[in-house]
Amino acid sequence: MLDFPRWKVWGISLICLIGVLFAVPSLVPAREVAKWPAWLPSAQINLGLDLAGGSHLLLEADTSDLAKTRLEQMEERVRVGLRRESPPIEIGEISTAGGRLSFMVRNPAQVDAAVDFARRQTQPAGLGPRDWNVDVLDQNRIVMTPTQAGLDQGLKAAMDSAREVVYNRVDPSGTKEVTVIRQGEQRILVQVPGLQDPEGLKKLIGKTARLEFKLVDLTANPEQVAQGRAPVGSQVLPMQGGGAMAVKRRAIVTGEQLIDAKQSYDQNNQPVVSITFDSSGAKAFGRVTRENVGKPFAIILDNVVLSAPNINEPILGGQAQIAGSYTVQTANELAVQLASGSLPIELRTIEERSIGPELGRDSIYWGSIAAMAATAAVILFMLITYGRFGVYATIGLVLNALMILAIMSIIGASLTLPGIAGFVLTIGAAVDANVLINERIREELRAGRRVMDALEAGYREASTAIFDANITNVIAAVLMYVLGTGPIKGFAVVLMIGIVTSVFTAVNVTRMLVALWARRTRPRELHI
């Protein structure tokens, strides 16, 4: 017991010191921390949304849509691509029924060339399979079936880029501490601390924002358009404010060719969105407008025609304005959406939680008061029960609390309400470890051991129970962390950290304190 080597004393003291240093920033207001010299630790503990206030949205992608889009894109590629082959390959009976693309090659001699073309459109998806299977049926019918691996790969790519887009929309300036992470295969979690009303957020995220400029098909028969039928190569789209319009399928330019979008005003001082195309977009836009002066083109957002202005003169600078009945705010929203790119997949909110920041502040205030009162109660109890050893236990407890804070701020884990429950449990475990040791020392003294032997035996014999009790809790915490969702994870994180620190402080730190005291005073009897 007495031979407590110097390096150990230094090691334990150093760890405690570091723990305290890193805990301090979390205990003082942020503006104080900002004044400190840079070499001092400044990371504060992250408060979960339930404590800090803010919005939490869980978005889920509509995957049925993704398969459909992929099919449509493949259809378009095949249609256009085969026509451009030399010699052109003529096809017919194109169908996308049953989630497969099938078409007939009119000239049987070109089947091989068509299959070759179709194969070139596919890509490897992971190891082995490609994203589409190409088969020939009845000699001249080619069937392209999306493979599961291809769909998975497509989903993954779409989700990655959707995450990016959502992030850019939520925090265009990149200054807020927002969290946008992928969760599972088709979900995105968005957390914005401090934001009370997530309505604006949901509006921003809720739109796909696919912008297209297309020529209006003037040859279409208005009666047929009203029935939803369009000439070959055109499609019927609804118009904002009612009605429908036939437009060419081929887009002149799309939102992908945008380099900038911002809110501004037109000559009548109405809010509009000004957009700038990149060079390829500007070139295409210039060419088409030059060839179609006097004819209208349609500005289409998410398959709705916003407006169809006439081309008065060629538009060469790659700049355009989107007018509609916008307010400054809605024009701003659209600008952010366009600038961040279109969502490759539709997202829906399936879980929403928002906590008013004031309520969160209330929770923290009363939570800290209560936590202090709780700690004070425990400390008082330890002191009247164990005297000097109660003081050591108290030092251990306080260090334990500080070290949990320190580790959580270092690794950036969030403290939530369930986390506070975990905190209480680890404080309980730390108290228990001290109680186990002290009761054991009492017992050993009663059994007639001398002071030093009793101290030694107390720590030694109590440690197996402490060890087993804590390992079982670690097992539980790890399982909960791996399997649990939100709140349970928050609980498990604190528990895992707290178990490590409580064993360290309750066993190593108090043991050191006791050893140093015993070495100095050589007590002949113990009051415990």
- Residue (230 or 466) nearer to another protein, CB: 466
Note whether 294 and 283 are within 8 A (CB): no
CA-to-CA distance for 344 and 98, rounded, in angstroms? 22
Q: How far is the CB of 354 from another protein (least distance, A)?
A: 5
Q: How far is the CB of 445 from another protein (least distance, A)?
A: 10
CA-to-CA distance for 18 and 45, rounded, in angstroms? 15
- Residue (266 or 362) nearer to another protein, CB: 362
- Residue (2 or 380) nearer to another protein, CB: 380
Reported for 488-491, long-range contacts at CB under 8 A and 24+ positions apart, including other chains, are 488/418, 490/48, 490/414, 490/415, 490/416, 490/417, 490/418, 490/419, 490/422, 491/416, 491/418, 491/419, 491/421, 491/422
SS3 category, 407: helix
Q: How far is the CB of 343 from another protein (least distance, A)?
A: 15
Q: How far is the CB of 3 from another protein (least distance, A)?
A: 20
CA-to-CA distance for 284 and 261, rounded, in angstroms? 18
- Residue (260 or 351) nearer to another protein, CB: 351
Q: How far is the CB of 402 from another protein (least distance, A)?
A: 17
Q: How far is the CB of 399 from another protein (least distance, A)?
A: 17
Note whether 117 and 88 are within 8 A (CB): no
CA-to-CA distance for 48 and 179, rounded, in angstroms? 12
Note whether 96 and 70 are within 8 A (CB): no
Note whether 321 and 174 are within 8 A (CB): no
Q: How far is the CB of 485 from another protein (least distance, A)?
A: 5
User: What stretches of 32-140 adopt beta strand conformation (E)?
Assistant: 46-47, 54-61, 91-95, 101-105, 132-137
CA-to-CA distance for 17 and 38, rounded, in angstroms? 18
Note whether 93 and 103 are within 8 A (CB): yes
Q: How far is the CB of 150 from another protein (least distance, A)?
A: 26
CA-to-CA distance for 418 and 408, rounded, in angstroms? 14
- Residue (265 or 366) nearer to another protein, CB: 366
SS3 category, 120: helix
Note whether 26 and 44 are within 8 A (CB): yes
- Residue (209 or 425) nearer to another protein, CB: 425
CA-to-CA distance for 415 and 200, rounded, in angstroms? 27
- Residue (17 or 471) nearer to another protein, CB: 471
- Residue (141 or 361) nearer to another protein, CB: 361
- Residue (2 or 475) nearer to another protein, CB: 475
